Chain A
Amino acid sequence: MKIPASEVLLLLALIIPVVGSFFIFLCRKFPNVREGITLITGIALFANVSLIASRVFTGERPEFVLAEPFSGFTLSLAVEPLGMLFALLASFLWIITSIYAIGYMRGHGEDNQTRFYIFFACSIASVMGVAFAGDLLTLFVFYEILTLMTYPLVTHSGTAEARRSGRVYLGILISTSMVFFLLAVVWTALEVGTLAFSIGGIYPEGTEPWVLGLLLALFVFGIGKAAIMPFHRWLPAAMVAPTPVSALLHAVAVVKAGVFSILKICIYIFGASSLHNLAVAEWLSLLAGFTIIAASIVAMGKDNLKARLAYSTISQLSYVTLGALLGNSAAWTGASMHMVAHAFGKITLFFCAGAILVAHHKKNVSELDGLGRVMPFTMGAFFIGSLSIAGLPPTAGMWSKWYLVLGTVDAGELILLNVLLLSTLLNVYYLVSIPIRGFFKPLRTPVSGIKEAPLPCLIAIGVTTTITVGLFIYPEHLFQAVSGLVTTW
């Protein structure tokens, strides 16, 4: 069989999930077939993305122009290593999450499962669009579509609470992006005349610093998905969604789309030299530092497990934002690696939270005392996951944090260095403490024997936990992928 050109593969990455969702719709009467299609679509997408990756990491840079809505500004797809990494991450975790979702949705007896799978697939398609966006306009377009596609997932249950959360979700994400992000994009288009990503930034020499500073601020605040304070409220709100959604979308795909956009804009629109000379970049990175600490402190006060994880995510996202804004290669390496490390760590935690919910209907941290004895596997995985989030060995999180710390040192930002270290302590306090309570405190209501979540859930948890540890032991591939990027910066 002739392997098609990379451009076609690129287009297929968008088409496969959409076609998949169409077939899911057709098979809505047969749940088993429907879930089968979800899995097949996931595998096909991952295979497709891997195929692209195998070419991209050997130096090919496929491009594809979709349309040209405004003269000179196109909707186009193009691949560079960072986007490739993001696409690989999202498409791989989609398979895992689908397996998990089958167990969860059935175990939890959710309604409207077909709608759930359809919009899930469409969300993934938009994530692919974000990852492969060839210019700022395309990035913006898919960013918005992603928001809309995840909205039905957030409001899945249709309860009053879900609607309220949906309102916050849509309100913050669309408002910030329509006002700040779009303004920044249009302004850039006017200022530069092009929106295509290019290494070293696109702003011409001699652009007024206040213009650049304002633009950077507009971008950082406009990309609400990166959840920098004060635009973080949507993320805890989104936690009313079913757990697979929180796990993949609100721990990985959506939020990563946010920080990925920021990272990409910092690297390919501003470039390191512009960032270094901007006072605004420093203020914003301090704001990111503030978000890291503040979100951690809020997280401590949350008894609801998913809410605590959500605030932890907010804090972790600012790691990436911070790294992106520092603008040196160590920080960018750290930020890119952190996208991956955090993804595996956090998805494990969410999987565990969902497993606890399905098996024991427990939502709050205070109810988890002694649960380790009933769910040893889940609690063990939770432990590994929280170590990774805290950035401790033997997990992947350690490496990314290492590079981020190096980045702050390189940039001479002592305050931020301390922020990162303090954050580790806070993480230990509010995350690592949970499995410790689970294993060592006495059980509140006695349960006889071991009762774990359905098997698909456990498989998913197993896979992500293994990778979290695996990336600690064998970080070379990830590092190479990222440093392949770094040399081109």
Chain B
Amino acid sequence: MATIEQLAIFQITIPLIVAPLVFLLKNGNRAWFLTLVTSVAMMWVASQLLVHVLSVGEFVTQIGGWAAPWGIEYRVDTVNAFVLLIVSGMSSIVLMFARQSVNQEIESNKRSLFYTSWLLCLTGLLGVTITGDAFNVFVFLEISSLSSYVLIAMGRDRRALTSSFQYLVMGTIGATFILIGIGFLFIVTGTLNMADISERLSDTSQTRTVRTAFAFIIVGIGLKLAMFPLHLWLPNAYAYAPSVASAFLAATATKVALYMLLRFIYTVFGFEFSFDLPLSETLVILSSAAILVGSVVAIFQDNLKRLLAYSSVAQIGYMLLGVSLATQAGLSAALLHVFNHAVIKGGLFLVLGCFVFRFGTASLKLLSGKGTQMPWTFAAFIAGGLSLIGVPLTTGFVSKWQLVTAALDIGWWPVALVVLAGSILAIVYVWRAVEVLYFRPVSDDSQIVKEAPLELLLPTWLLIGANIYFGINTELSIGVADVAAHWLMTGTR
């Protein structure tokens, strides 16, 4: 039995080591299996870490036996253990779905490359989350980004290439901004360890250099996070990526970016420094705009994947809105929505994966009336859509409730109204799709199609079921989010 410190190391090293092994495999199915096993193992590790931090408390583990300011340390606390579990859990569930979908969408000689990229992406995402070193964040971020560009570029449509390229340019600019910010922090403090930086900043804070660093880092993360108006790369990237890649990235990548944002705002720069700057005001405006604009644009999309992608832009707005409230309740709502949105969007993208599997397209026009041919898939779409709207007994409702409560608690009326108005827009775009899928006459009668295979339906319904389960029993989701928010605000459990 490994110690908990070793488990924390395994979180990164095992996928990193398995990646080249998968790379050497020729057979796509074997590669898939190895990837799945690794991912599930990482989920187990993450759950162990979460249990440990919840019961015992945060802990630090060093790489190479070098203590903190010189070496890199991994620091596990409630916040990132929660995110680790989300990332590895979503990866595992989406991977269960992946085999058939990948076999259909990706040429056989590229499948093991696909899974290699997947594992590297997972490594990167987990690494960003677990590390306590600012520069290491950049490195892992780039690992995950580079591999996600590859994942996206493997889409069948040639537009996957251009959208991947666009993402690459934007993503690199974002990462470089983060690098500049970290550079300034290094110049000011002479250290790269987050805890150290934060300690040393408390003496020198509010100098122009620190503020510049802050601005660069926030904008850089904003790019990775698809914070409005830096979201332009996201819709295309999600729309043309292979189905499973869309589901994986939608459920994890932006969540990790949000975590990064929180980590820098709360741990590195500190609550007081960050919110002395007009951060709250900026975020509130941007995220409200994201909710409204993202939802409105989603209404006019003709491709279901793009529709969901724009909806993601709006949903990221909800998370940022929670952050902008600058209260513990708001922060908790944001963290809760990180989890809930991962479940919702992961589930919905898997639903689209089922449609794409049978019909080879996510275009709304070509799918008209097809809902009737795949009742279970369609039912999953409706259930997920309701959650997106925020109907009671779904996770979406729980998030909205917490967010509205947090906003009203400090008397931010208009914010609460924006959140609720977002639901109305969500009904419009979800229901537009539902109507086309169900009520429109089938566009092409010759194509009589069976329900998606069980191997695809099970993981889809697993996520959709989780949507409902966590909409009723919120002990885990709200519970952990509360503890994590408290930890971020006060630094104590």
Contact = CB atoms under 8 A, between A and B. Distances in A.
Interface of A: 67, 69-71, 75, 140-141, 144-145, 148, 155, 158, 163, 166-167, 170-171, 174-175, 178-179, 182-183, 186-187, 189-190
Given A70-B402, A178-B390, 17 more contacts: A69-B398, A69-B401, A70-B401, A141-B393, A171-B428, A174-B389, A174-B427, A175-B424, A179-B420, A182-B420, A183-B416, A183-B417, A186-B401, A186-B405, A186-B408, A189-B405, A190-B409
A171 B427 contact: yes
Given A67-B472, A189-B405, A190-B409, A170 B427 contact: yes
B392 A145 contact: yes
A148 B473 contact: no
**Interface size class of chain B, counting residues whose CB lies under 8 Å from the partner chain:** 20 to 34
A179 B423 CA distance: 8
Interface in B162-188: none
A71 B332 CA distance: 14
A187 B420 contact: no
Interface centre among A163, A183, A186 (most CB of B within 10 A): A186
Given A67-B472, A179-B420, A190-B409, A144 B427 contact: no
Nearest to B424: A175
A178 B386 CA distance: 12
B420 A167 contact: no
B392 A144 contact: yes
B404 A182 contact: yes
Interface in B406-433: 408-409, 416-417, 420-421, 423-424, 427-428, 431
A183 B478 contact: no
A148 B431 CA distance: 12
Contacts of B391: 144-145, 148, 174
A186 B404 contact: yes
Nearest to A178: B423
Contacts of B420: 178-179, 182-183
Given A141-B392, A189-B405, A179 B473 contact: no
Contacts of A75: 472
A24 to B, nearest CB: 16
A158 B390 CA distance: 25
B392 A140 contact: yes
B471 interface: yes
Contact of A190 (B405, B471, B478): B405
Contacts of A163: 435, 439
B473 to A, nearest CB: 6
Interface in B367-420: 386, 389-393, 398, 400-402, 404-405, 408-409, 416-417, 420
Given A140-B392, A144-B392, A145-B392, A183 B404 contact: yes
A243 to B, nearest CB: 21
Nearest to A147: B391
Contacts of B427: 170-171, 174-175, 178
A187 B428 CA distance: 26
A174 to B, nearest CB: 5
B103 interface: no
- Which 6 residue pairs spanning A and B have beta carbons closest together? A141-B392, A179-B420, A178-B423, A175-B424, A186-B404, A69-B474
B417 A179 contact: yes
24 contacts: A67-B472, A69-B398, A69-B401, A70-B398, A141-B393, A148-B386, A155-B439, A163-B439, A166-B435, A167-B435, A170-B427, A171-B424, A171-B428, A175-B424, A175-B427, A178-B389, A179-B417, A182-B400, A182-B420, A183-B416, A183-B420, A186-B404, A189-B405, A190-B409
B473 A67 contact: yes
B115 to A, nearest CB: 38
| Interface of chain B, main secondary structure | helix
A158 B439 contact: yes
Nearest to B431: A170
B472 A69 contact: yes
Interface string B435-478: 10001000000000000000000000000000000011110001
Contacts of B386: 148
A170 to B, nearest CB: 6
Contacts of A170: 427, 431
Contacts of B409: 190
A160 B125 CA distance: 47
B474 A70 contact: yes
A97 to B, nearest CB: 25
Nearest to A140: B392
Interface centre among A158, A174, A190 (most CB of B within 10 A): A174
Contacts of B471: 69
A174 B424 contact: yes
B484 to A, nearest CB: 16
Contacts of A140: 392
A140 B386 CA distance: 15
A156 to B, nearest CB: 11
B379 to A, nearest CB: 12
A163 B400 CA distance: 28
Contact of B408 (A144, A179, A190): A190
A183 B413 CA distance: 10
A187 B472 contact: no
B424 A69 contact: no
B401 to A, nearest CB: 6
A170 B431 CA distance: 9
B393 A145 contact: yes
B327 to A, nearest CB: 13
A460 to B, nearest CB: 30
Contacts of B439: 155, 158, 163
Contacts of A71: 478
Contacts of A70: 398, 401-402, 474, 478
A140 B400 CA distance: 14
Contacts of B473: 67, 69
Nearest to B477: A69
A69 B392 CA distance: 10
Nearest to B471: A69
B421 A179 contact: yes
Nearest to B420: A179
B412 to A, nearest CB: 12
Contacts of B404: 182-183, 186
A365 to B, nearest CB: 30
B243 to A, nearest CB: 27
Nearest to A167: B431
Nearest to A71: B478
Interface in B188-244: none
Nearest to B472: A67
Contacts of B423: 174, 178-179
Nearest to B407: A186
A187 B393 CA distance: 19
A37 B93 CA distance: 39
A129 to B, nearest CB: 11
Interface string B39-81: 0000000000000000000000000000000000000000000
Contacts of A182: 400-401, 404, 420
Nearest to B391: A144
A171 B473 CA distance: 28
Contacts of A69: 398, 401, 471-474
Interface centre among B392, B431, B435 (most CB of A within 10 A): B392
A175 B404 CA distance: 16
A171 B391 CA distance: 13
Contacts of B390: 178
Contacts of A67: 472-473
A182 B419 CA distance: 11
A187 B392 contact: no
A208 to B, nearest CB: 13
Nearest to B423: A178
A179 B424 contact: yes
Nearest to A182: B420
Contacts of A144: 391-392
A479 B393 CA distance: 37
A178 B130 CA distance: 38
Contacts of A175: 424, 427
